[in-house]
Amino acid sequence: MSKSDPEVVYDLAADRRSALPSVGLGLLLALADGTALAVMGWLVLYTGATTALSADHDLAQRALLTGLMLVPLIKSVFGIYALGRFDYAERARRTFQAAVLCTAVLIVPFIVMEGFRSFFGLSLAVALGGFALTFAVDMLLVHGVLAFAHQWRVPVVIVGAGPQGAALAEKLQRLPWLGMRPVCFVDEDEALWHRRVADLPVIGPPSTLRTFPAYAAQARAAIVADIGRHGSDLTALMRSLPFRQVYCVLGEGNVSSLDASFHNLHGSLSLRVSLRPRTTYLRIRRTMDIVLAGLALLVFAPLMLAIGILIKLDSRGPVLFRQERWAGGNRTFKLLKFRTMHVDAEEQLQRLLESDPEARREYEIFHKLTFDPRITPFGRFLRKTSLDELPQLWNVLTGEMSLIGPRAYMPRELPEVGESAAIIGTVTPGVTGYWQVSGRHRTSFQERVRMDVFYVRNCGLLFDFYILVKTVFVVLRGEGS
């Protein structure tokens, strides 16, 4: 058998599992929404909320039913149930648009039909509550249940085992809620054949998928990881792949994908990217930072006092840890955290990196250590629950940080950030952000940089809300540093 024969090295029989069809996912989400809305309607009737809002019991019941029915109807009009597994940001955007349309539909008769204001007002309140509830149910279903169901994820072949392909495979493996499960690579580079990249086999050139149909049967789609390598041959490559769906990755963070759409210019495929001024968004964001950070400081003040006392009892040293962080350009600021390490942490780190090659390699890749001897016993709890970051609310209140934004990098990390610093530095660093809710400490440093670039190029109120909601789930699951 020759080197081009993948049977020499690999047997992918273990991966012969079919994924749930897309229509099955849409039906599942629709059933979940229906169940959630039915429970919501029952609770409203059981608690007597309709009677409290309207003296006419029959009118209130009709308004309740109207509001509940509008939710799945308008979501269907916007094609939310037909979206792919991994289009969660698009799902959030369309849900918001559906809620706006529903408001417009009901607010007009509410204004002009004086005798029916209670009916339309109650219907609108129920519908908006239903949109919020069903969005939360969708997130719980996809991120909390289906993401860990092996057969829910679509098996895919990645075309290109270079750096971009490896990064893409690692991302799909680390983030199961994206809905794709890579099974192998194909690549024209003969030097990569019969090797493993990102713990996946490189079975040969793309033609292998047609030469050995058994391998193509393991997947339902293909992803071209680096379209720049193929140039004018891209169309021929896509037609040669034995799949009905082929995805072409344009690059990491190179396109503002939340505001992008494809258009056919009489046979020429074009990508339209909407470039919007950020002035209004930044003003609203700063107002929300001041209001939410101020309220949070008042609410968490007793907890923060208790944490300060426990830190003093746990180890010697100050309660707060101040560290210089980069704020864009030549500006820096002092980031505040509850101290979670011993006072001689830097000296301990240097000694550990000099004596332990494995720890040094891990730190160079992730800028973190899985088992960090510098952290105090109480500090581990604070990091696990993310409570060590509560003092950063003061940084937010003073305008040095935002609740949501890119990571606050240390000045000494800027050489590794490279040219991306010019993009990341245009947005105020955040307490939480896209990379924190997308794998956090399991991501490499360079992938964090790419995620920050993606966030800066796609930031908006809806994206910020999505990150804020996901942060709550990350904290509740204890997936801190």
User: Has residue 305 got a pLDDT over 70?
Assistant: yes
Query: What CATH number should be reported for the domain holding residue 174?
Result: 3.40.50.720
Confidence band for 291, pLDDT divided at 50, 70 and 90 = very high
Helix axes 445-458, 163-174, angle to 10 degrees: 80
**CB 421 within 8 Å of CB 462:** no
Mean pLDDT of 53-77: 83
- How is 12-74 classified by DSSP, letter by letter? -GGG--PPPPHHHHHHHHHHHHHHHHHHHHHHHHHHTHHHHH-S-HHHHHHHHHHHHHHHHHH
pLDDT of residue 23: 52
Residue 231 sits in the same domain as residue 290: no
- With a pLDDT cut of 70, the percent of the chain lying above it is 83
Q: Which of 244-253, 286-295, 388-397 has the lowest mean pLDDT?
A: 244-253
User: Has residue 14 got a pLDDT over 70?
Assistant: no
- Would residue 349 count as lying in a domain? no
pLDDT digits (tens, 9 = 90+) for 422-469: 999 999 999 999 888 876 556 778 888 988 988 888 888 878 888 888
Q: Which of 2-6, 73-77, 160-164 has the highest mean pLDDT?
A: 73-77
pLDDT of residue 432: 93
Residue 164 sits in the same domain as residue 192: yes
Q: Which of 39-48, 224-233, 266-275, 309-318 has the highest mean pLDDT?
A: 309-318
pLDDT of residue 17: 47
pLDDT of residue 459: 84
Q: How many domains does the chain have?
A: 3
Mean pLDDT of 152-169: 89
Reported pTM? 0.65
User: Has residue 158 got a pLDDT over 70?
Assistant: yes
Residue 295 sits in the same domain as residue 408: yes
User: Has residue 9 got a pLDDT over 80?
Assistant: no
**CB 432 within 8 Å of CB 471:** yes
**CB 197 within 8 Å of CB 108:** no
pLDDT of residue 46: 78
- Would residue 74 count as lying in a domain? yes
Q: Which of 190-199, 208-217, 296-305, 346-355 has the lowest mean pLDDT?
A: 346-355
- Would residue 301 count as lying in a domain? yes
Residue 239 sits in the same domain as residue 284: no
- Would residue 38 count as lying in a domain? yes
Q: Which of 116, 147, 178 is the last residue of a domain?
A: 147
pLDDT of residue 174: 79
Residue 62 sits in the same domain as residue 143: yes
Query: 171: which 2 tokens?
Result: 């991302």
- How is 57-82 classified by DSSP, letter by letter? HHHHHHHHHHHHHHHHHHHHHTTGGG
Distances from the Cα of 379 to the Cαs of 336, 403, 443, in angstroms? 15, 22, 22
- Cα(261)–Cα(272) distance, integer angstroms: 5
User: Has residue 353 got a pLDDT over 90?
Assistant: no
Strand partners, 336: 322
Helix axes 117-139, 88-112, angle to 10 degrees: 170
- What is the sign, positive or negative, of the torsion defined by CA atoms of 231, 233, 238, 242? negative
User: Has residue 362 got a pLDDT over 80?
Assistant: no
User: Has residue 13 got a pLDDT over 60?
Assistant: no
**CB 139 within 8 Å of CB 147:** no
Mean pLDDT of 379-408: 93
Q: Which of 122, 147, 172 is the last residue of a domain?
A: 147
Residue 140 sits in the same domain as residue 185: no
Residue 283 sits in the same domain as residue 424: yes
**CB 67 within 8 Å of CB 122:** yes
pLDDT of residue 1: 37
- Would residue 6 count as lying in a domain? no
- Would residue 70 count as lying in a domain? yes
User: Has residue 15 got a pLDDT over 50?
Assistant: no
Query: 22: which 2 tokens?
Result: 């897309």
Residue 108 sits in the same domain as residue 55: yes
Q: Hunting for tokens 């209670």 — which residue is that?
A: 118
- Would residue 332 count as lying in a domain? yes
Residue 131 sits in the same domain as residue 178: no
Residue 141 sits in the same domain as residue 207: no
Output the average pLDDT for the chain.
82
Range of the domain at 130: 22-147
pLDDT of residue 16: 46
Residue 205 sits in the same domain as residue 227: yes
Residue 48 sits in the same domain as residue 165: no
Q: Under 8 Å CB-to-CB from 440, ≥6 apart: which residues?
A: 474, 479, 480, 481
Confidence band for 144, pLDDT divided at 50, 70 and 90 = low
pLDDT of residue 298: 95
Q: Which of 92, 125, 147 is the last residue of a domain?
A: 147
Confidence band for 473, pLDDT divided at 50, 70 and 90 = confident
For residues 346 and 69, the model is more confident at 69
Rounded to the nearest 5°, which phi and psi values hold at 41?
-60, -40
- Would residue 1 count as lying in a domain? no
Helix runs in 315-413, H state only = 345-355, 357-366, 377-385, 392-397
Mean pLDDT of 163-174: 87
Q: Hunting for tokens 């011993």 — which residue is that?
A: 342
